[in-house]
Amino acid sequence: MRGDGDGWADSPGGVRHWGKFGAAGLLLRAPLPGGGSAVLLQHRAAWSHQGGTWALPGGARDSHETARHAAVREAEEEAGISADAVRVRAERLTMTAPSGWTYTTVVADAASTLPTVPNQESTELAWVPEDDVTALPLHPGFAAAWVGLRAVPLRVVDVTPDLAPALPRTVDLSGHGFYWLHTTVTGPGAEILLDHPTTGPTVTRADLLS
């Protein structure tokens, strides 16, 4: 069913963006064997705007929706991902147009690389290892945003039994960006201790429970 957000927002110079009230997309991350992570990407149907490129499941926000609600809804409509399987971690305003139109990326985790069901807006859906994302022909907007959305892997070595169920996961560390925390001994990334100051990001036990 079409919502009241479907339609174009026009900026000076004839530039148009889809979504009368802005748009949102879901960057859904899941663990891979070996400690790494993958993100769910959509190969956009040829008939769609910027068709043939890869980007996030997403679309127009309706007038009553938050960015979080819109992104999760779009992932369910376009990829068959149930809202119950998504744990939202953060939001990023990743584009603002002269018209006032905005695109918000909602960052979330899934417990595994979930099966997907594409709709007519997708040529295919794929869980892509983070290291491989830039090898794809990306939607220009997503390509520009990916630099600030990609998660750096870190291996946590002192996780207590009460915290173990919280990993792996994405954390958003203020001033540093996104990190993928895992406990796989042979997995990617630098080794860190919780609550231990370093020259890089300091990850706390509270971060695992946020």
Q: Are 138 and 162 within one domain?
A: no
Domain count, the chain: 2
Q: Are 91 and 144 within one domain?
A: yes
What are the DSSP calls for the chain, one per residue?
---TT-SEEE-GGG-EEE-BTBEEEEEEEEE-TTS-EEEEEEEE-TTSTTTT-EE-SEEEPPTT--HHHHHHHHHHHHH---GGG-EEEEEEEEEE-TTS-EEEEEEEE-SS-------TTEEEEEEEEGGGGGGS-B-HHHHHHHHHHPPEEEEE----TTTGGG-SEEEEETTTEEEEEE--TT-SSEEE-TT---SSPPP-HHHHH-
Q: Are 55 and 128 within one domain?
A: yes
pLDDT per position as a tens digit, 4-41: 877 777 777 767 777 688 899 999 999 999 999 999 99
Q: Are 91 and 167 within one domain?
A: no
Whether 80 is covered by a domain: the verdict is yes
pLDDT per position as a tens digit, 45-83: 766 766 689 999 998 899 899 999 999 999 999 999 999
Whether 170 is covered by a domain: the verdict is yes
